Amino acid sequence: MRLNNNEINALKALLSDPKNRIDESLDNLYNKMTSKSEVSLYIDGAADLHSKTAGIGGIITKDGEEVYSFSEYLHDATNNEAEYSALITGLKCLIQLKLFNANIFSDSELVVKQIKGEYKVRNPRMQALYQKAMDQFRHMDAWTFSHVLREKNDAADQLAKAGRLKGKK
């Protein structure tokens, strides 16, 4: 189940009264909803079809400080496949770090709009990656996914390029 912002705000208002938090689970939920900690995940994928090399990269920050990054090689993937793979890896990292509320950023407008349901996923290979990503999102408590310009995603872009170059050896 996903709640929209109005539903989340209504629940937060209801739980703001301690009398409505009748057990520990409701206390925990309220604390999660009111946490001031800001977690961000920036992801990117890079691919070169001529050399059949691809890479993924991502950075997780908490309150503006980097807490984790990754840079990995993928063999023979398209750029869109690399973008999805970066998202899936980033989500797995968030889950392993127990960071279940995150703002996620990608410079792939296609992937962002497909995840948000604004575009259909038609390609069978992309459908499989889309499903893997959605399976990971189910572990998250709350998330946003936004498109950013490439210039605002430079660190993840550099990690993705470095991952791709690991395969050129």
- pLDDT tens digits, residue range 69-92? 999 999 889 999 999 999 999 999
Q: How many helices, marked H, and strands, marked E, lie in the chain? A: 6, 5
For the segment 40-55, the average pLDDT, to the nearest whole number, is 94
Report helix, strand or coil for 143.
strand
Convert the pLDDT of each residue in 13-44 to its tens digit: 898 888 998 888 888 888 777 767 789 999 99
Q: Where are the domains of the chain?
A: 5-34, 39-168
* CA-wise closest residue to 87 among 123, 47, 32, 135: 135
Task: Please state the CATH superfamily assignment of the domain spanning residues 39-168 in this structure.
Answer: Ribonuclease H-like superfamily/Ribonuclease H (3.30.420.10)
pLDDT tens for residues 106-164? 999 999 999 999 999 999 999 999 999 999 999 998 899 999 999 999 999 999 999 99
Is 161 within 8 Å of 57 (Cβ atoms)?
A: yes
- The answer to whether the Cα torsion of 135, 120, 124, 49 is positive or negative is negative
